[in-house]
């Protein structure tokens, strides 16, 4: 019984630490404004580079014509029904580096849903209000039910 209580206490302690560090990191965060971009309205430069990253799950930033874009890719999926949406962007400074945190909301097909059996590469693109590229980009993902 003592062993179970010790394990539960360790798990609660680790969860509290993770919550604390996430709170501290987000405390001085500045929200970044953005506009969603439809795939047909993406700049040509992003359209050309996107195939190089579509197999990976990551967040990218790109500067095109003095505008900064953020792209989130989900990687290759075996069926339709997977989506990604950029929910929020925050900018923080840590050790002299500007860090952009991209909060993405993932949607997966529900079990039992009938979906097309094709390869898909879900992604989202937004144009930001940033004036310069950040030194680091962090992707924080959350699954939507």
Residue 145: pLDDT band with limits 50, 70, 90: low
pLDDT of res. 23: 61
Q: Which pLDDT does position 25 carry in this prediction? A: 56
Reading the block at residue 86, the tokens are: 């950029």
- % of the chain surpassing 70 pLDDT: 94
Q: Which tens digit of pLDDT belongs to each residue from 70-91?
A: 999 999 999 999 999 999 999 9
pTM: 0.77
């Amino acid at each position: 019984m003592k062993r179970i209580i010790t394990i539960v206490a360790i798990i609660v302690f680790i969860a509290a630490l993770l919550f604390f560090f996430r709170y501290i990191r987000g405390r001085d965060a500045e929200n970044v404004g953005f506009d969603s971009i439809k795939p047909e309205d993406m700049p040509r430069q992003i359209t050309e580079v996107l195939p190089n990253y579509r197999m990976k799950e990551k967040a990218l930033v790109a500067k095109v014509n003095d505008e900064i874009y953020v792209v989130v890719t989900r990687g290759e999926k075996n069926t339709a029904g997977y989506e990604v949406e950029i929910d929020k962007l925050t900018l923080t400074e840590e050790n002299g580096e500007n860090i952009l945190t991209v909060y993405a909301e993932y949607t997966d097909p529900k079990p039992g849903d009938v979906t097309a059996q094709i390869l898909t590469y879900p992604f989202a693109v937004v144009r930001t209000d940033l004036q310069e590229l950040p030194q680091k980009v962090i992707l924080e993902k959350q699954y939507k039910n």
